[in-house]
Amino acid sequence: MATVTEQRDRIAVVLAGVDGLKMVVKHPAESAPSVRPAVVLGEPTAIFAEGEARRGLDSWDWPLLILVSLGDYPAAQQVMDAFLNTGPGSIRQAFLEEPGLGLLDGTHAVIDRMDDYGPRDSGDGTRMVGAVLHLVVRTTT
């Protein structure tokens, strides 16, 4: 089974290959990264396998906070959309192409959903557009 550290490291490697991302933050920071577009890996939650119903699969939910600069909302939305659609700048596509995260232990990762899409402020007053993608990683026990 992949550890939390192994998962975090491999998620960062996959994200580093996404066209257009300027920074991948592997640990949540107290303030927004100064370089954008950026992705901040949040702390995961987990459901652990127990009994036959779960078939030996632990399930990890990794929140990926995408942040883009907000000058003009329609322009910022176009930048954000590129990360959500398909193609070389798509975060979803990156995980579709590397569902095992490069781990050899039966790990499977997929972007499951998105929430919290919209404008937001940082601690220094910078305006941004953000969204949280949820990467679900299933590992064998």
pLDDT in tens, 76-133: 999 999 999 888 899 999 999 999 998 877 899 999 999 999 998 877 777 899 999 9
What CATH class has 4-46+57-140?
A: alpha beta
Task: State the pTM of this model.
Answer: 0.89
Phi-psi region of 138 (alpha: psi -120 to 50; beta: other; left: phi over 0): beta
Reference 78, options 122, 18, 20; nearest CA is: 20
- Report pLDDT digits (tens) over 38-90: 999 999 999 987 766 556 689 999 999 999 988 888 899 999 999 998 888 99
pLDDT number for residue 16: 93
Token pair recorded at residue 121:
């402020």
Q: How far apart are CA 94 and CA 33, in angstroms?
A: 22
